[in-house]
């Protein structure tokens, strides 16, 4: 949610959906709470605690080991996997290789979050290799998308990228865009303080993995996750005195979120 | 504190103690604040920050290095040690070996928290080896106890396990059970949100280590720690709007906890 | 801010500055928000999340990678660097060597925080080597200063150490002292709960690095950082119910801090 000028607009030929998105999000949230899916997260040290608490608040069960001897088994018994490049050490790269192999073998859907590839060419290269391994969703911001795709972030380029790579591209920002090549959702919800708390994007990617665990259509999962998170952010922002209390309040809001709030607040096209 | 059906009940032949437990907990808490014991924690990355803040709020002084060159010295100059298996990497396993050797050599009491051994057979094997090295207390949940002991979690099996292994087995759940082979305490305090915040169990184990630093009877230390934590959880739950504010409030509650609250609220048999 | 007896007092011959410090701090804070400098932090796992949120709340942009292949590039494109010894593993020591080389080559100013060297002789030795590499500021507490300098912490010894090493020595405690060999500032602001939250000192060092990114006089940067942090702490303490809510409130207070509060509250000599 950076306060950058927002150039993206939904295009007429991409799929649009008004109130249905809120209903979908409410359904997915209900399933999260009922099924309590296991979500294995390879994520950076800065994000681990907040990510685990976001997942728990939404109803999912996080695990985070990266030990090579056990990560394969954790992933195989999980319902979804998050691969976040935020800590780019050897240990995590090895863990990622094992985890993706286990996920693909056992049909565990996974999300890629190519954190900061705009500042680290080696990460960008690694992220491109991972895209070829078949993530269901790539969740990123505008700068990261530009580096990953080689194109400016626009609805057309996002849609083309998603179509070519056969994945869902979920772009976070002041407005969120979720494209799968045929459909495009535009989410206008959210709160400026989401950009002032560390690991907020990382946690959004983890929530996307959680939604993927209970919703087989990856585009639906991406839309539900980013809408749930953005509306929790709005609810949190209403009472927060700054980014400290906001980070606490968004966890509370996720825990209390209901269909009525989602339906009343959703601004999706 | 998971909302599972709670099958365990205290048995008549095990030791029971009503109001004395609250007085004991108040004494131990007073000692924590006065003596400010050093507690060295080998714990997972998800839990480190919350664990350190729980220890500080209770009056203890945490340290967390796992560097092989210095951990022995940190442990030798600490008053208690926590060994948590939540991050099962080579570095931490090496650190654990050095730390336990230093602890046993210098009579520093230590607590084992065999996190998630129910999902990771290699951790379970490692945990069994560590039990043989002489922890004063093992703090775990029902699923972990079953894997560690090979028996369903019941007062009888807990008591037998504690007696055979010459340790205190402290089982957390909706109800907590602390057994040392001769005595059994049952704590009915706590709050459901304790199960919705990551690292809550890990922090409870760290608090147990802190209590062990100021109370030489490990069963007393286990009872005091779990009672203090459960009542802090109740106090936190009274005003929390969800797991985010609960995690903040339990730190505040630990910091402010007094004998009057412990005595008024303790439900121990 | 430990509740130890405070023996240090400002000496007459050292530089003094009353209300100017608040104006300076307000200017530096304004620059942080306008320039949003990049601050690369090599810091310990306990401190990472809180440190990142403190930097974001003050207006800076944190990064925290320690991977050897990319840290040089991150540092070279950063506006300041923090080197914190709180996690003393091989990976971080290697990262520190690369980072300092990149910083010195590209004139990126850096801050050293020699965490816990009073309990770890190997860290103390390493810290002395790092002092010789040219940090602009060393931020530490009394026990750490004594080990680093071999002298008791007093205004005279602090001033002498700063002069001899050609750096700014910033000593945190109930009262803060910032010396550069010619000038000495004494800050009487702060709150006792700052000593009851983990990573508070680490975050103060990161904030010092951020100020150094936008203020070329290291003594000015040190004074501004510690004054901003101490007054944010006072504001947080006014409403906190304990260390949990205090840690949240200090983030909010940093985010909302303005020149009026700085000027009204500064107690600097």
The residues, any chain, with a CB within 8 Å of residue A10's CB and separated by 6 or more, are A16, A155, A177, A184, A186, A269
- Is pLDDT at A4 greater than 90 in this prediction? no
Give the per-residue pLDDT at B28: 98
Q: How far B165 CA lies from chain C's nearest CA (Å)?
A: 33
Q: How far apart are CA B167 and CA B161, in angstroms?
A: 8
Choose among A191, A250, B252, A193: nearest CA to C255: A193
Burial B165-182 (b: 16+ CB within 10 A, else e): bebbbbbbbbbbbbbbbe
Q: What Cα–Cα distance (Å) separates residue A23 from each residue in A114, A180, A258, A260, B130?
A: 29, 20, 10, 9, 50
Q: In the structure, what pLDDT confidence band is assigned to residue B30 with cuts at 50, 70 and 90?
A: very high
Tokens of C266: 């500064």
Q: In the structure, what pLDDT confidence band is assigned to residue B17 with cuts at 50, 70 and 90?
A: low
Choose the closest CB to A53 out of B87, B116, B244: B244
Q: How far A248 CA lies from chain C's nearest CA (Å)?
A: 8
C243/B53 touch (CB, cutoff 8 Å), yes or no: yes
Choose the closest CB to B198 out of A56, A70, A247: A56
Give the per-residue pLDDT at A87: 76
Tokens of C263: 């000027």
- Is pLDDT at B1 greater than 90 in this prediction? no
- Is pLDDT at A16 greater than 80 in this prediction? no
Q: Where do we find the tokens 């007093």?
A: C154
Binding partners of A (≥3 Cβ pairs within 8 A):
B, C
Q: With beta carbons under 8 A apart, name residues in chain A contacting B245.
A: 248-249, 251-252
Closest Cα in chain C to B47: C46
Q: What is the pLDDT of residues C168-219, one digit of tens each?
A: 999 999 999 999 999 999 999 999 999 999 999 999 999 999 999 999 999 9
Closest Cα in chain B to C193: B57
Tokens of A4: 């950058």
Q: For chain C, where are the E strands, in sequence order?
A: 38-42, 61-63, 80-84, 110-113, 137-140, 168-171, 176-179, 184-187
Interface of C with A (CB under 8 A): 45, 48-49, 52-53, 56-57, 62-67, 69-70, 73-74, 77, 91, 247-256
Closest Cα in chain B to C49: B49
Q: What is the pLDDT of residues A41-62, one digit of tens each?
A: 999 999 999 999 999 999 999 9
Average pLDDT, chain A: 93
Give the per-residue pLDDT at B13: 32
Q: Are B259 and B32 in contact (CB under 8 A)?
A: no
Q: Are C84 and C205 in contact (CB under 8 A)?
A: yes
Per cent of chain B over pLDDT 90 is: 88
Choose the closest CB to A56 out of B86, B88, B196: B196
DSSP, res A175? S
SS3 assignment, position A214 = helix
Q: What is the pLDDT of residues B129-178, one digit of tens each?
A: 999 999 999 999 999 999 999 999 999 999 999 999 999 999 999 999 99
Q: Are A267 and A187 in contact (CB under 8 A)?
A: yes
The pLDDT of B218-232, averaged and rounded, is: 98
Apex C55 CA angle, C53 and C61, nearest 5: 105
Model-wide pTM > 0.95: no
Q: How far B3 CA lies from chain C's nearest CA (Å)?
A: 26
DSSP B168-234: EEEE-SSSEEEE-SSBEEEE----GGGGGSTTHHHHHHHHHHHHHHH-SSHHHHHHHHHHHHHHHHH
Q: What Cα–Cα distance (Å) separates residue B9 from each residue in A71, B140, C121, C262?
A: 36, 17, 51, 58
Q: How far apart are CA B203 and CA B200, in angstroms?
A: 5
Q: Where do we find the tokens 């949940």?
A: B141
SS3 assignment, position A152 = coil
Q: For A2-128, where are the E strands, in sequence order?
A: 38-42, 61-63, 80-84, 110-113
- Is pLDDT at B8 greater than 80 in this prediction? no
Give the per-residue pLDDT at A91: 84
Closest Cα in chain A to C69: A122
Per cent of chain A over pLDDT 90 is: 89
Choose among A117, A118, A44: nearest CA to A82: A44
Q: How far apart are CA A115 and CA A83, in angstroms?
A: 10
Give the per-residue pLDDT at A89: 81
Query: Which strands, in side-by-side order, build the sheet including C61-63?
Result: C61-63, C38-42, C80-84, C110-113, C137-140, C168-171, C176-179, C184-187
Of B81-90, C134-143, C163-172, give the lowest mean pLDDT range. B81-90
The residues, any chain, with a CB within 8 Å of residue A41's CB and separated by 6 or more, are A48, A51, A52, A55, A62, A63, A64, A81, A82, A84, A206, A209
B255/C243 touch (CB, cutoff 8 Å), yes or no: yes
- Is pLDDT at A134 greater than 50 in this prediction? yes
- Is pLDDT at C243 greater than 60 in this prediction? yes
- Is pLDDT at A214 greater than 80 in this prediction? yes
The pLDDT of A87-92, averaged and rounded, is: 82
B123/A70 touch (CB, cutoff 8 Å), yes or no: yes
DSSP B63-100: E----HHHHHHHHHTSSEEEEE-SS--HHHHHHHHHHH
Strand pairing class (A176-179; A184-187): antiparallel
The pLDDT of B117-123, averaged and rounded, is: 93
The pLDDT of A152-167, averaged and rounded, is: 97
Give the per-residue pLDDT at B9: 40
Q: In the structure, what pLDDT confidence band is assigned to residue C118 with cuts at 50, 70 and 90?
A: very high
Give the per-residue pLDDT at C17: 62
Q: What is the pLDDT of residues B97-116, one digit of tens each?
A: 999 999 999 999 999 999 99
C69/A88 touch (CB, cutoff 8 Å), yes or no: yes
Choose among C57, C120, C110, C86: nearest CA to C201: C86
Q: With beta carbons under 8 A apart, name residues in chain C contacting B49.
A: 46-47, 49-50, 198-199
Q: How far apart are CA A236 and CA A190, in angstroms?
A: 10
Quote the ipTM score. 0.92
Q: How far apart are CA B160 and CA B163, in angstroms?
A: 5
- Is pLDDT at A14 greater than 80 in this prediction? no
Choose among B193, B182, B269: nearest CA to B229: B193
Q: In the structure, what pLDDT confidence band is assigned to residue C79 with cuts at 50, 70 and 90?
A: very high
């Amino acid at each position: 949610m950076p306060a950058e000028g927002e150039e993206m607009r939904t295009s007429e030929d991409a799929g649009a959906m008004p109130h249905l998105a809120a209903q979908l999000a409410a359904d997915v949230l209900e399933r999260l709470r009922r099924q309590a899916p296991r979500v294995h997260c390879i994520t950076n040290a800065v994000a681990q605690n907040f990510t685990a608490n976001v997942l728990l608040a939404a109803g999912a069960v996080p695990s985070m080991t990266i030990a090579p001897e056990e990560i394969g088994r954790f992933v195989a018994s999980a319902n979804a996997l998050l691969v976040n490049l935020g800590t780019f050490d050897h240990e995590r790269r090895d863990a990622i290789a094992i985890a993706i192999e286990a996920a693909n073998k056992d049909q565990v859907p996974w999300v890629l979050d190519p954190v900061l590839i705009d500042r680290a060419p080696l990460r960008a290269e690694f992220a491109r290799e991972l895209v070829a391994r078949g993530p269901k969703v790539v969740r990123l911001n505008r700068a990261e998308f530009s580096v990953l795709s080689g194109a400016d972030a626009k609805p057309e380029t996002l849609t083309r990228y998603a179509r070519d790579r056969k994945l869902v591209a979920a772009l976070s920002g002041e407005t969120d865009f979720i494209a799968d090549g045929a459909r495009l959702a535009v989410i206008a919800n959210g709160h400026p303080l989401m950009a002032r708390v560390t690991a907020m994007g990382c946690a959004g990617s983890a929530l996307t993995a959680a939604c993927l665990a209970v919703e087989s259509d990856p585009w639906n999962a991406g839309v539900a996750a980013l809408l749930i998170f953005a509306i929790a952010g709005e609810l949190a922002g209403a009472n927060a005195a700054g980014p400290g209390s906001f980070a606490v309040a968004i966890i509370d809001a996720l825990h209390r979120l209901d269909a009525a709030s989602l339906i009343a607040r959703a601004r999706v096209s």
